[in-house]
Amino acid sequence: AQRVTQPEKLLSVFKGAPVELKCNYSYSGSPELFWYVQYSRQRLQLLLRHISRESIKGFTADLNKGETSFHLKKPFAQEEDSAMYYCAPLVGGSSNTGKLIFGQGTTLQVKP
């Protein structure tokens, strides 16, 4: 079945520790992949997309087509990183019918 999986509902780390939020997908083709974040009392917003290969707020995400994974990483977590993170592939086969699908989400809790 086609799905996006975020295996951890909660990830709790101490400030300064490395963070890796896992995402695996099983969609055919080569979907474009995104990470969205929702901070407390704020709207869901884009964090980063794989095609841009950029680092946002110290986060990076590498697309591994062989493992169909798109894990989100940060070498040193900060308390302000505490939020809900969603992996979201854009699926649909062609650029004209792409739809944004969300994983279950992982709550990142960074303790002082």
Partner 1 sequence: EAGVAQSPRYKIIEKRQSVAFWCNPISGHATLYWYQQILGQGPKLLIQFQNNGVVDDSQLPKDRFSAERLKGVDSTLKIQPAKLEDSAVYLCASSSSRTSVEAFFGQGTRLTVV
Q: Closest separation between CB of residue 56 and partner 1, Å?
A: 12
- 68 vs 92, beta carbon nearer partner 1: 92
- Residue where the block lists tokens 């992949």: 33
The yes or no reply on residue 56 touching partner 1 (CB under 8 A) is no
For the chain, the straight-line distance linking the first and the last C-alpha, in angstroms and rounded, comes to: 40
Where in 11-40 is the site for partner 1 (CB under 8 A)?
32
Q: Helices H, strands E: what count in the chain? A: 0, 11
The yes or no reply on residue 46 touching partner 1 (CB under 8 A) is yes
What one-character DSSP code corresponds to residue 58? T
Among 28, 30, 40, 96, binds partner 1 (CB under 8 A): 96
Specify burial of residue 86 (Cβ count, 10 A radius: 0-12, 13-18, 19+).
buried
- 70 vs 86, beta carbon nearer partner 1: 86
Q: The tokens of 86 are what?
A: 């969603």
Per DSSP bridges, beta strands 10-14 and 106-111 are parallel
Identify which range of 23-31, 62-70, 72-80, 92-100 contacts partner 1 by CB under 8 A. 92-100
Return residues touching partner 1 (CB under 8 A). 6, 32, 43-46, 49, 86, 90, 92, 95-105
